[in-house]
Structures are given as C-alpha cells and as structure tokens.
Copies of this chain bind each other. A is one copy, B any other.
Amino acid sequence: MTQNAVTAAILVIGDEILSGRTKDKNIGYVADYLTALGIDLCEVRIVPDVEVEIVEALNALRHRYTYVFTTGGIGPTHDDITADSVAKAFNVEIHEDPRAIEMLLVRFKQGDLNEARRRMARIPVGASLIENPVSNAPGFNIGNVFVMAGVPAIMQAMLDNVAPLLQNGVKVLSEIIEVPGIKEGDYGVGLAKIASAFPDVSIGSYPHLTETGFSNQIVVRSRDGRLLKEAVKAVHDLLKELQAQGF
C-alpha cells in the first residue's frame, strides 16, 4: 500500500506491563484512533521504567515517524520518570512549570502540593501542556512527541485534546470479506496473485479459531477507492470460483 505522509509510533512505558501485572489497553485504542485520522501507526515499543531505555527508544522513534505518543510514567511517585527521560532525550532542561502548578491547584489546595505532587508539574522546557480533564495533572507535547498518562480513561481524554493538533492523513478505506467456509490454504495461492496485481492495495488474511475450527476474514485496504473496489471484486470472484470448484 502506498506509504502515507503521516506516520506514528507508540511508546508504552512501564514495568507493570512487562511483568504482566497490568494488561495494556492503550495500544489498541490509539491504533483505532489513528487509523480513523488517516495516520499510519508503524511501530510500537514497550519499555521498562528505566531512563536509558526510554531515552533510546524515544530517540529512535521520534526521528523516524511524524508523531510519537507515549503512555505511562507521569504520576507523582518515584517510578514516574517519563518527563525527566523525555527532557533528556531532547537534551533540554526540566523545571517545575507554573502553568502545570496552576492546573494542579484546580484539584489540590496549595498546602497539599507536596514534593510528590509537584513531580507532576515537572515539564521539559519548550513543551506545551496537554489538559487532563479527569485528574488535572497534565501531559505535554514537545517536538513531535505527545506524553500522556497510562490510566486508560485519562489517556483517552488527553488523546481527544491532542487530536486537533495532528496533521491528518488520507484515510485508509477498508473492506472486510467474510470467507464462506473456504480454508486459507485453499485460497492462499489465488489471493497472492491478487495481492501482486494490486501493489497499492494491502490484502490480509486473518484466521481465528472458533469451536468448529478456523473461520477466516480477508481484509482489503487502500487509500484509493477505485483500486479498493477492483481488488474486492477480484477477491469475491476468486472465492466464488473456488466454491464452484467444491472448496
């Protein structure tokens, strides 16, 4: 499929995901969200709460894709080291940000803004803030990187605030074809021929197990509506032909 002008990566930060304690719910959500905006999610990495790992992964991703979205590690405890790591990756200083303090004061009394809560106001120099309507502690945007919370409800609210800032791509059109009981191995050769006849169309075959065996879907995706329609027709024709042959 033709490469899109607008690409993205997700960087999930957190020991709890790697240990299995917490099951990530953000990757799939952000993937759907970006697809709806016509932005190609090209890579995801999950790294632990270790500064050098975060810095290295972020630098690899931010130089490669239009946008990077990080989730996790921006709370008030010692294991929340994302903001400091992002500052290091960008080689900028990080300070307590008066704008972030102001946001926290909506939720907390001045006297409750102790050292731990003030961590949530540490923002790299040059970043703009991402509002958090759920619990006030902001995320931030620096360069092409958007730093968001790990708690799904907060991440989702932040993403809604980020979306208007993003350059949208040409939306990928897609069609799902439910395969009528023909096995992948029986349509694989024909499907490969269609895939090579349509280089600007992406054709995927996805089996899933049901109680009675495999059930397959073929997903046809393209940014060109005319090509999509032609490729979908070719797939339908192939399946009909195979059915006629008794598959």
The interface of chain A, by Cβ under 8 A from chain B, is 12, 15-24, 27-28, 31-35, 40-49, 53, 75-79, 108, 112, 114-117, 119-120, 134-135, 151, 153-154, 172, 174, 184-189, 191-192, 195-196, 202-209, 214, 219, 221
A178 CB to closest chain B CB, in angstroms? 14
In whole angstroms, how far apart are the Cα atoms of A71 and B27 in the complex?
16
Q: Are B134 and A209 neighbours in the complex by a CB distance under 8 Å? A: yes
* Number of copies of this protein chain within its complex: 2
A214 x B78 contact (CB < 8 A): no
Question: Chain B residues near A78 (CB, 8 Å)?
Answer: 188, 191-192, 195-196, 203
Look across to chain B and name the residue whose beta carbon is closest to the beta carbon of A152: B209
- List 8 extra interface pairs beyond A16-B219, A79-B204, A119-B188, CB under 8 A: A18-B40, A19-B35, A42-B48, A43-B45, A75-B184, A79-B205, A120-B185, A153-B209
User: Does the CB pair B16–A186 fall under 8 Å?
Assistant: no
How far does the Cβ of A99 sit from chain B's closest Cβ, in whole Å?
19
Interface centre among A17, A44, A174, A196 (most CB of B within 10 A): A44
A139 to B172, CA, bound (A): 32
In angstroms, how far is the closest chain B Cβ from the Cβ of A11? 10
A116/B185 in contact, CB under 8 A? yes
Q: Check B116–A207 contact: CB distance below 8 A.
A: no
> Roughly how many angstroms separate A91 CA and B189 CA in the complex, as a whole number?
27
Contacts of A205 in B (CB 8 A): 75, 77, 79
Q: Known interface pairs A19-B35, A27-B46, A78-B195. Does A115 touch B204 (Cβ–Cβ under 8 Å)?
A: no
Instruction: Please pick, from B23, B45, B116, B172, the residue contacting A44 in the complex, using a CB distance under 8 A.
Output: B45
Known A79-B205, A209-B134: A189·B20 in contact at CB below 8 Å? no
CA–CA, A154 and B184, complex, Å: 16
